Amino acid sequence: MNKLAIMGAMQEEIEPLLENFENIKVTEYAKNKYYEVSLDGLDIVIAHSKIGKVFASLTATTMIEKFGCDTLLFSGVAGAVNSELKIGDLIIADKLCQHDLDITAFGHPHGYVPGGDVFVETSKELREVAKEVASENSLKVIEGTIATGDQFVHSTQRKDFILNTFKADALEMEGASVAVVCDSLNIPFFILRAISDSADMEANFDFDEFLKSSAKISADYLIQIVKKLNK
């Protein structure tokens, strides 16, 4: 690992990461900001993509192609589909899918297009390091399937569809697109999410409050993983 990319979807997801660094070089490119930092001699580029699959694909590709990152870690929040996941719980994806990708009219399964796969697997090596860090810090982390789509899911009906179709544990709006980019470019990657809401929660709950607290939980854990990777 020569240069590490760390991504989030929203500024709120990367702010707790940036707080760990003092000398930050900011580069503006493709209508976004990329924060270049160093941790114990390791060069790191941090960015938030903005929400959704297209922006996430653009940012991941930029970090790899323009900035030369050879490993990518994603930190952020997600909604729970697995009823055992509670707010603040951590999940690392063993595989990801796009729950809103649908050409079933042509006889294909949900989440599939010709030339692609329903599921994209993350780096086993990075997951093992993450599990070691969790064990050393007595953190409860589950490995599971994360489903991605360009919609904030808040209906029980949609949640049940995603659970039944993909056996997903959590859902969000960026991970699978980052997975497709990294897998295609042979970049080891890892998607970490802290639960900020359950997908069928009442609409009046304070998402911003849970976004902030869960983003910090995810970021703090990720920094520990980076330190372990850099040893």
String of DSSP letters for 90-103: EEEEEEEEETT---
Tell me the pTM: 0.94
130's CB contacts (< 8 A; 6+ apart) are 92, 141, 190, 192, 221, 225
Nearest to 96 by CA among 14, 169, 43, 25: 169
- The pLDDT, as a whole number, for residue 197 is 82
Q: What's the pLDDT score for residue 231?
A: 85
**150 in catalytic set:** no
What residue has token string 């996941």? 85
- pLDDT value at residue 199: 55
Tens of pLDDT, residues 163-182: 999 999 999 999 999 999 99
Q: Given CATH 3.40.50.1580, say whether it is the number of domain 3-229.
A: yes
15-40 pLDDT, tens per residue? 999 999 999 999 999 999 999 999 99
Percent of the chain past pLDDT 70, that is, above it, reads: 97
Residue with tokens 């970490």: 192
Give mean pLDDT, residues 220-226.
94
Sequence-distant (6+) residues with CB within 8 A of 162 are: 81, 99, 147, 153, 168, 171, 199
Reported as a single tens digit per residue, the pLDDT across 40-82 is 999 999 999 999 999 999 999 999 999 999 999 999 999 999 9
Q: Which of 12, 13, 100, 174 is catalytic?
A: 13
Residue 204 confidence class, pLDDT cut points 50, 70, 90: low
Annotated catalytic residue within 12, 102, 197, 220: 197
The domain ranges of the chain are 3-229
Query: What is the C-alpha separation between 182 and 95, in angstroms, rounded?
Result: 13
Checking if the pLDDT of 201 tops 80, the result is no
Task: Give the confidence band of 156 by pLDDT, cuts at 50, 70, 90.
Answer: confident
- Output the pLDDT for position 87: 85
How far, in Å, are 76, 101, 110, 156, 219 from residue 13 at the CA level?
5, 25, 29, 26, 7
**Residue 12: active-site member:** no
Question: How far are the Cα atoms of 25, 123, 125, 227 from residue 37, in angstroms, in the given order?
Answer: 7, 24, 24, 14
Inform me whether the pLDDT recorded for 205 exceeds 80: no
**Cα gap 19→97, rounded to integer Å:** 31
